[in-house]
Structure 1
Amino acid sequence: MLPIILRRLALSVPLLLIVSAITFLLESFVPGNPARTLLGLNATQQQYDALRAALHLDQPVIAQYGLYLRGMLHGDFGTSLFTDEPVLGLIGQRLPVTLALVIGGTGLAGLVGVLLGVFSATRGRFSRRLVDIVSLLGGALPNFWIALLLVALFAVKFAIFPATGYTPFADSPGQWASGLVLPVVALSIGGVAFIAKVTRDAMLSTLALDHIRTLRACGIGPSSIIWKHALRGCGLPVVTTFGLTMITFIPGTILIENVFTLPGLGTTVVNATNQHDLPVVQGVAITFTVMVIVVNLLVDVLYGLLNPKVRTE
């Protein structure tokens, strides 16, 4: 199992370099000039040229990327052009919000999706059609529409949960949890539908296997067959779905955080893009990439736990 993890980590290094290069190149095409934005319209041309030289904006894009890459390899991701705050410090402040959304959304989607999938696989055609309908709606309805609907119902009409804002866990665990309910639900809807459908199909295939029939013939109870044997048998596709769902939620937090005004990496990268704050955009892009790599590693580890053959490959 360890060689597989080491091989995945080795492959992640060129991935990080490719992501950083593409992000740097794309950001260079975004309209706007950070030097002009920082100085305002009343600055002289001399001041403008001096700031461009200080920020290395007067150099070619390749040269700018080379300077950034050299600093990144030494653990220096630069500072924000507008707040003069170290990028790593800024990411460290905003990352817990995004992680709470991603982990909470994946956990909720996984719990509800697996329960719904198992229910539909064991309760007949009507429940299966219901899952198909839920999957279709969950995949078709955009997250921002679901988020606005949740705000209108549970924050405005009934005033159960706050519509916007974020309270750190250390300040008030109750308010922290309350403020994350609507964002997590809005983020997880599509994942619930996806996981439910995959679980249902995998469970139906597993329940039709010969060893499951043998367990029934031996008098093993239905609940034991479903939860101890069949669910473990369809673990690989379900784990794969969990990983794909979690990876999808990582960029999905950008929209959710902006709808609910949460101070996470999503709102940070949007503001940085509007301001042409390249070091912050780069830092967030690399952080998202690292999160995807970590999720893939976790999926590989779970593969090894569920299927011992994977450990010897």
Structure 2
Amino acid sequence: MWSFIARRLAGGILLLVVASSLTYLLMNANSGGIALRILGDQATAEQIAAKEAELGLDRPVLERFGEWALGAVRGDLGTSWFTSEGVWHTVFSRLPVTLSLVVGTVVVTTIVATALGVLAATRRGRVDRVVQVLSVVGAAAPNFWIGLMLVVGFALTLRWFPATGFVSPAVSAAGWAASITLPIVALALGSVAAVTQQVRSAFIEVEGRDYVRTLRSRGLGERTVLFGHVLRGAATPALTVLALQFVGLLGGAVVVERVFALPGLGETIANATTSGDVPLVMGVVVVSVALVVVVNLVIDILAGWINPKARVS
């Protein structure tokens, strides 16, 4: 187990290095004009040159990346070029918003998709067809359109939920739940559709195996067979898809956070990328990739705990 975790962490570190390197090079491919955007249109040529020297834009890209990487290894991600705020402070002040949205979506996806997938697999016919149609519709509907419809219907018309904004759970648990309910629903529909199909397919495949027929022939109750053995065997591929969905949810959060005006990492990296704030973009990328690595490791460990065959492989 420890060697498995070590290999996964080594792969995660490699992914982090590759992602940060590519991001830095792409962000600096068109770094001209950043000093002018920071100073404004009234800046003189001398002021622009001085600002570029201050930011290091007059030096080679690889030299700047090496300096940034050494600082990142020491835990220093630098300072935002546009707000002069520490990158760590900016990222971690907005991280709870994105984590609330993504983790809430994963929880909702796990519960709803498992229920629908098992229902479709055990109720072949009309129920199965209805679930599959709903899954296709949910997967095809864009997140931003769903978000806008939810705002119009449940925030502006019915006034059950706030249309925009985020309330910290430390301020009000009820306000926090109300502020993230519609964003979670908007983000969860596509994930539920994908995971439901995976749960259904895996459940049907496991249910047809020889050992399941043996369990039934020995007189075990149907619920024990389905939920104690079949569902456990089907959990591994479903968890794999759920881990992939987590990566997609981080990307989808960018759109949903903009629709609901949530001050999360999605909104932050969208604004930072548009303005060319390299240190802030790099900080968000590093934290996001680290989250993906940790989540994938946790999913792999859970899969091994649930299914001994996955543990051995």
Q: Same fold (TM over 0.5)?
A: yes
Q: Deviations over 1:82-137 (max 9, x none)?
A: 11111011111111111111111011011101100101111121122122212221
Asked whether the 8 Å contact 1:165–1:261 carries over to 2, the reply is yes
Q: Which runs of 5+ in 1 are unaligned?
A: none
Letter in 2 for 1:11: G
Identity %: 42
Q: Distance in 2 between matches of 1:27 and 1:57?
A: 12
Pairs within 5 Å for 1:23-172 = 23-30=23-30, 33-172=33-172
CA distance in 2, matches of 1:12, 1:40: 40
Q: 1:306 to 1:180 in 2, by over 3 A?
A: same
Would you say how many aligned residue pairs link Structure 1 and Structure 2? 313
Does the aligned pair in 2 maintain the 1:34–1:81 contact within 8 Å?
no
- The structural deviation recorded for 1:192 is 0.6
**2:172 maps to amino acid:** S
Distance apart, 1:31 and its partner CA: 6.9
CA contact (8 A) 2:109 2:188 kept: yes
User: Over aligned residues, Cα RMSD in angstroms?
Assistant: 1.5
Deviation at 1:212, TM superposition (A): 2.2
The secondary structure found in structure 2 opposite 1:234 is helix
1:225 maps to which residue? Answer: 225
TM-score normalised to the size of structure 2?
0.95
Letter in 1 for 2:273: T
TM alignment of 1:215-294, pairs within 5 A = 215-294=215-294
Shift of 1:72: 1.3
Shift of 1:34: 2.5
| Structure 2 CA distance for aligned equivalents of residues 312 and 51 of structure 1 | 57
Q: Structure 1 CA distance, aligned partners of 2:68 and 2:13?
A: 16
Equivalent positions of 1:13-28 (< 5 A) are 13-28=13-28
Contact 1:28 1:61 (C-alpha < 8 Å) held by counterparts: yes
Aligned residue runs from structure 1 range 195-214, under 5 A = 195-214=195-214
Once the two structures are superposed, residues 112-164 of structure 1 have per-residue CA deviations (whole angstroms, 9 ceiling, x without a partner) of 01100101111121122122212221221111111111111111111111110
- Secondary structure of the corresponding residue to residue 183 of structure 1: helix
Q: Which moved more, 1:234-243 or 1:256-265?
A: 234-243
Which shows bigger deviation, 253-262 or 32-41? Answer: 32-41
The equivalent of 2:304 in structure 1 is 304
- Cα contact 1:33–1:276 (8 A) shared by 2: no
CA deviation profile, 1:18-45 (whole Å, cap 9, x unmatched): 1111111111234762211221122222
What is the TM-score normalised by the length of structure 1?
Answer: 0.95
Check conservation: 1:110, 1:191, Cα contact below 8 A.
Answer: no
User: For residues 43 and 238 of structure 1, what CA distance do their matches in structure 2 show?
Assistant: 56
The answer to whether the 8 Å contact 1:113/1:193 transfers is yes
The answer for unaligned runs of 5 or more in structure 2 is none
